[in-house]
Amino acid sequence: MKCVIIDDEPLALGLLESYIEKISFLELVASCSDGFEAMTVLQEQKVDLIFTDIEMPNFSGIDIIKSADYNESMFIFTTAYPHYAIEGFNLNVTDYLVKPIPFHRFLKAVTRAHDMFKLKKEEPVAVVDKEEQQFIFVKSEYENLKINLDDIKYIESLKDYIKIYTNKDKPILTLSSLKGFEKKLGNSKFIRVHKSYIVSLKHIYSVQRNRIVIGEKWIPIGLNYKDKFLKKIGG
């Protein structure tokens, strides 16, 4: 993964450079002491991961994210100010590291970023006949779980993860985008009804105006998905 560091503190730059040298899957492209220098670098080449301080003169880390259009780049905030955590979450940053940054915490953040990077690069697994597919395997924590498609009630998106609700008591959490999981299902038994939900047609109890009832759960129907969904159910 190609990465860039942006920080106006020389000691912070040096520390992150030393950490990156220890990680085999990271390649440092540039170390920038201010946002303007970084913008020049980012406009010239594609970067996978950006480490940026928040409070910098003239051009902050938040300004960099808001002014940039790097759909393929992930951001990790590195800052001495923990009160920016909520804003970082709203900006969909991959992680938030508070200075002084210990190596074990840095390693956890970049490992998570690397997992997400690999997930984006993965090609969809070919299946002989998606319509006859009866089950899928998903990675959850340290194991690959087999899930029968008929057991899945609905799937919910949670930022970089999805939650799979089945007939069993405990939902399954796995690292994936909802769009990627929709391709993996590739099955007429399921339909996307909202930017955050896929539902099983089999488990729908009723449809009430702009929501779907599955068990005790009410799932909203997004405006962009409503026509396709109503056509699917013949409504």
Q: Which domains does the chain have, with CATH numbers?
A: 2-121 (3.40.50.2300), 132-233 (2.40.50.1020)
- Confidence class of residue 90 from pLDDT cuts 50, 70 and 90? low
Estimate to the nearest angstrom the gap between the alpha carbon of 90 and the chain centroid.
13
The residue-averaged pLDDT of 203-208 equals: 93
Tokens 């670098």 label which residue?
A: 41
d(CA 226, CA 88): 32
Is the Cβ–Cβ distance between 50 and 4 less than 8 Å?
yes
CA distances from 86 to 89, 95, 121 (A): 5, 11, 29
pLDDT of residue 128: 42
pTM of the model: 0.54
Lowest mean pLDDT among 28-37, 112-121, 124-133, 176-185: 124-133
d(CA 225, CA 177): 17
The residue-averaged pLDDT of 88-97 equals: 77
More confident residue, 104 or 137: 104
Summarised one tens digit per residue, pLDDT across range 97-128 is 999 999 999 999 999 899 888 877 664 444 44
Given CA atoms 25, 28, 32, 38 in this order, what sign does their dihedral have?
negative
Is the Cβ–Cβ distance between 79 and 98 less than 8 Å?
yes
- pLDDT of 65 > 90? The answer is no
Lowest mean pLDDT among 106-115, 130-139, 146-155, 161-170: 130-139
Percent of the chain with pLDDT over 70: 88
Q: Which two tokens stand for residue 108?
A: 């956890």
- Confidence class of residue 70 from pLDDT cuts 50, 70 and 90? low
d(CA 39, CA 63): 11
